[in-house]
Protein backbone atom coordinates (compact mmCIF):
# COMPACT_ATOMS: atom_id res chain seq x y z
CA UNK A 1 0.00 0.00 0.00
CA UNK A 2 1.44 3.39 -0.98
CA UNK A 3 1.72 6.21 1.52
CA UNK A 4 -0.99 8.13 -0.33
CA UNK A 5 -3.36 5.12 0.00
CA UNK A 6 -2.48 4.80 3.68
CA UNK A 7 -3.32 8.49 4.22
CA UNK A 8 -6.61 8.13 2.33
CA UNK A 9 -7.47 5.10 4.46
CA UNK A 10 -6.71 6.93 7.69
CA UNK A 11 -8.76 9.94 6.60
CA UNK A 12 -11.74 7.84 5.61
CA UNK A 13 -11.82 5.79 8.81
CA UNK A 14 -12.15 8.73 11.23
CA UNK A 15 -14.19 11.94 11.02
CA UNK A 16 -11.65 14.11 12.86
CA UNK A 17 -7.93 13.43 12.30
CA UNK A 18 -4.98 15.46 13.61
CA UNK A 19 -1.49 14.86 12.24
CA UNK A 20 0.86 16.37 14.80
CA UNK A 21 4.34 16.36 16.25
CA UNK A 22 4.17 14.03 19.24
CA UNK A 23 0.88 13.04 20.90
CA UNK A 24 -1.88 14.99 22.67
CA UNK A 25 -0.44 13.79 25.98
CA UNK A 26 3.20 14.44 24.96
CA UNK A 27 3.22 17.08 22.22
CA UNK A 28 6.68 17.83 20.80
CA UNK A 29 5.85 21.28 19.44
CA UNK A 30 3.89 24.23 20.81
CA UNK A 31 1.70 24.54 17.74
CA UNK A 32 0.79 20.84 17.82
CA UNK A 33 0.07 21.10 21.53
CA UNK A 34 -2.24 24.09 20.96
CA UNK A 35 -4.09 22.31 18.15
CA UNK A 36 -4.75 19.26 20.35
CA UNK A 37 -5.88 21.51 23.23
CA UNK A 38 -8.36 23.40 21.03
CA UNK A 39 -9.88 20.13 19.81
CA UNK A 40 -10.12 18.93 23.40
CA UNK A 41 -11.80 22.20 24.41
CA UNK A 42 -14.41 21.60 21.68
CA UNK A 43 -15.07 18.12 23.07
CA UNK A 44 -13.77 16.54 19.88
CA UNK A 45 -13.17 12.80 19.80
CA UNK A 46 -10.27 12.73 17.36
CA UNK A 47 -7.58 10.37 16.14
CA UNK A 48 -4.04 11.75 16.20
CA UNK A 49 -0.93 10.49 14.40
CA UNK A 50 2.62 11.40 15.41
CA UNK A 51 4.43 12.35 12.20
CA UNK A 52 7.77 12.50 14.02
CA UNK A 53 7.70 8.72 14.35
CA UNK A 54 6.88 8.25 10.64
CA UNK A 55 9.07 10.39 8.32
CA UNK A 56 7.58 8.72 5.21
CA UNK A 57 4.09 9.72 6.36
CA UNK A 58 5.35 13.24 7.10
CA UNK A 59 6.61 13.69 3.52
CA UNK A 60 3.56 11.96 2.03
CA UNK A 61 1.22 14.37 3.82
CA UNK A 62 3.02 17.42 2.47
CA UNK A 63 2.43 16.14 -1.03
CA UNK A 64 -1.13 14.96 -0.31
CA UNK A 65 -2.32 18.30 1.08
CA UNK A 66 0.13 20.81 -0.43
CA UNK A 67 0.54 21.94 3.17
CA UNK A 68 4.16 22.01 4.30
CA UNK A 69 3.85 22.19 8.08
CA UNK A 70 2.27 20.47 11.03
CA UNK A 71 -0.13 20.18 12.77
CA UNK A 72 -2.65 19.40 10.04
CA UNK A 73 -6.32 19.03 10.95
CA UNK A 74 -8.70 17.07 8.74
CA UNK A 75 -12.48 16.92 9.20
CA UNK A 76 -14.45 14.45 7.05
CA UNK A 77 -11.26 13.86 5.06
CA UNK A 78 -10.84 17.55 4.15
CA UNK A 79 -7.84 19.64 5.24
CA UNK A 80 -9.05 22.40 7.57
CA UNK A 81 -5.61 23.91 8.11
CA UNK A 82 -2.77 24.35 10.54
CA UNK A 83 -2.53 25.93 13.98
CA UNK A 84 -3.22 29.54 13.03
CA UNK A 85 -6.28 28.70 10.91
CA UNK A 86 -7.56 26.48 13.74
CA UNK A 87 -6.99 29.34 16.20
CA UNK A 88 -8.93 31.81 14.06
CA UNK A 89 -11.81 29.31 13.62
CA UNK A 90 -11.74 28.55 17.36
CA UNK A 91 -11.98 32.22 18.31
CA UNK A 92 -15.00 32.67 15.99
CA UNK A 93 -16.70 29.53 17.40
CA UNK A 94 -16.47 27.92 13.96
CA UNK A 95 -14.15 25.12 15.12
CA UNK A 96 -16.83 24.09 17.63
CA UNK A 97 -19.42 24.06 14.83
CA UNK A 98 -17.15 21.92 12.62
CA UNK A 99 -16.58 19.42 15.46
CA UNK A 100 -20.27 19.26 16.42
CA UNK A 101 -21.37 18.72 12.80
CA UNK A 102 -18.72 16.06 12.23
CA UNK A 103 -19.62 14.17 15.40
CA UNK A 104 -23.38 14.86 15.18
Q: Given the rule CB under 8 A, which residues bind other proteins?
A: 31, 62, 66-70, 79-85, 88
**3-state SS string for 66-104:** CCCCCCEEEECCEEEECHHHHHHHHHCCHHHHHHHHHHC
Residue 43 or residue 68: which is nearer to other proteins going by CB? Answer: 68
- Supply the minimum distance, in Å, between the C-beta of residue 104 and other proteins: 22
Instruction: Return d(Cα 31, Cα 56) in angstroms, integer.
Output: 21
- Supply the minimum distance, in Å, between the C-beta of residue 49 and other proteins: 16
- Supply the minimum distance, in Å, between the C-beta of residue 81 and other proteins: 5
Amino acid sequence: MSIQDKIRQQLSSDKIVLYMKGTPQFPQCGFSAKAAQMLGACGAKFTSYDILSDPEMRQGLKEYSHWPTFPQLYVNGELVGGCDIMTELYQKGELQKLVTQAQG
